[in-house]
Chain A
Amino acid sequence: MNDLLFEMTQWLYTTPLNAFAQGVSESRMSEIVVSWFWAIPLMQTVHILAIAGTLVAVLMLNLRVFGLAGHATVQETARRYTKVLWWALVFVAITGVGMLFGDTVRNLLNSIFWIKMTLLVAGMALALGYSRSVVRQTAGGGQVVSAGTRTTGIILVALWCLIILAGRWIAYAPA
């Protein structure tokens, strides 16, 4: 596994991404982020809080869908947590981009980073699709959603745990 990740990282260095990453790392924005020691920890703090918002929104909506928690209707719960999801995902994206300026080369030319990005895009799309699907299916006052939607909910929680895992693993990836 480590060999494969290392080869992926080596391959990334042969792509135009290398020149792009080098260019970004020499930009004014990168200079600002790198020169202020606390810029990255502060952005990471907001990033982590936004991921906490996303994880809990997905978790709580799931628990309501499965009847394991929640006092409001499924529809009300879905609407409430969809708002949380949107806000959280906006902050995940903004702080994620901001942090890239802090260590562009190590991130963009890192196999785990791209695995995380793939999972993140899937996680974002699936989370918003899931909440929308729950709202649609319970629009008539029903409290039950399809088996497919319930399965998606379970996959979604696992997917966000994987995103968190990949986020931490970037630091351990062979470079």
Chain B
Amino acid sequence: MYPEPTNIWERIEYSSFGTAIAESPWMFPTFEVLHVIALLTVIGTIAVVDLRLIGVASRGNRVSLIARDMLPWTWGAFALAAVTGALLFASKAHSYMINPWFLAKMSLMALAGLNMLYFHRTVWRTVGDWELDTPFPPAAKLAGWLSLIFWVVIVFCARAIGFTLGIYY
């Protein structure tokens, strides 16, 4: 028997939906594995583009063509990561919302998204003018570095959540 919820996060956690995931012996681990596979695909495909932007890898290839190859997979995997992430969240919503690592992970994902949005609305518009240059414009390199840093720290926060869940009240 669960206590009476006192906020929206407890309401989600104690809902029949949230408790079904938390109490099932297979649901949480299964969603977790799918979440990890999806997140790895997101990070891996983004890193391929970022490493090209900062000039570390794939230097003989046009960044616009690399991005065209990667982005459908990035978005598809991101959709799967978001759905499975929401399912995992529902099972322990209150615990997640008071965990600073979870909040840091969500904030960094928002920053990574804003970085990508800004990059695509500014420097990327003229990619055809500079993608054959060496090195790339500083703004493009900066966007690549920021994206890489954000995603590496997001992975660290994701692991830190697992080690700290339940220690904050």
A residues with a Cβ closer than 8 A to B are 37, 40-42, 44-45, 48-49, 51-53, 55-57, 59-60, 63, 69-72, 80, 83-84, 161, 164-165, 168-169, 172
- If A56-B41, A56-B45 touch, does A41 touch B73 (CB 8 Å cutoff)? no
Dominant SS among interface residues on chain B:
helix
Whether, in the assembled complex, B47 has its beta carbon less than 8 Å from a beta carbon of chain A, the answer is yes
- Least CB separation from A87: chain B residue: B57
Binds A, one of B6-14, B28-36, B106-114: B28-36
A164–B40 CA distance with the chains assembled, in angstroms: 10
Do B61 and A42 touch across chains, with their CB atoms under 8 A apart? no
Known: A44-B159, A48-B159, A51-B40. A164 touches B69 (CB 8 A): no
Known: A59-B73, A169-B29, A172-B29. A41 touches B40 (CB 8 A): no
**Given A60-B48, A80-B58, are A41 and B36 neighbors across the interface (CB < 8 Å)?**
no
B156 touches A45 (CB 8 A): yes
For this complex, 9 residue pairs linking A to B, each with C-beta atoms less than 8 Å apart, are A45-B156, A48-B40, A55-B40, A71-B61, A71-B62, A71-B66, A71-B69, A80-B58, A164-B36
Residue of B nearest to A161 (CB): B37
| A168 touching B33, Cβ below 8 Å | yes
Separation of A164 and B37 alpha carbons in the complex (Å):
7
> Which residue on B lies nearest to A58, using beta carbons?
B44
Rounded to whole Å, the gap between the CB of A75 and the closest CB of chain B is 13
Give chain A residues whose Cβ lies under 8 Å from the Cβ of B48. 56, 60
In the complex, which residues of chain A have a beta carbon less than 8 angstroms from the beta carbon of B36? 48, 164, 168
Q: Which of A40, A71, A161 contacts B68 (CB 8 A)?
A: A71
Nearest CB in chain A: distance from B59 CB, A: 10
Q: B residues within 8 A CB of A161?
A: 37
* Neighbouring A residues of B44 by C-beta, 8 Å: 52-53, 55-57, 59
Query: 10 other contacts beyond A45-B152, A80-B58, with CB at 8 A cut-off?
Result: A40-B163, A48-B159, A49-B155, A52-B40, A52-B44, A55-B40, A165-B33, A168-B29, A169-B33, A172-B29
B104 touches A (CB below 8 Å): no
Q: Which chain B residues lie closer than 8 Å to A168 at the CB level? A: 29, 32-33, 36
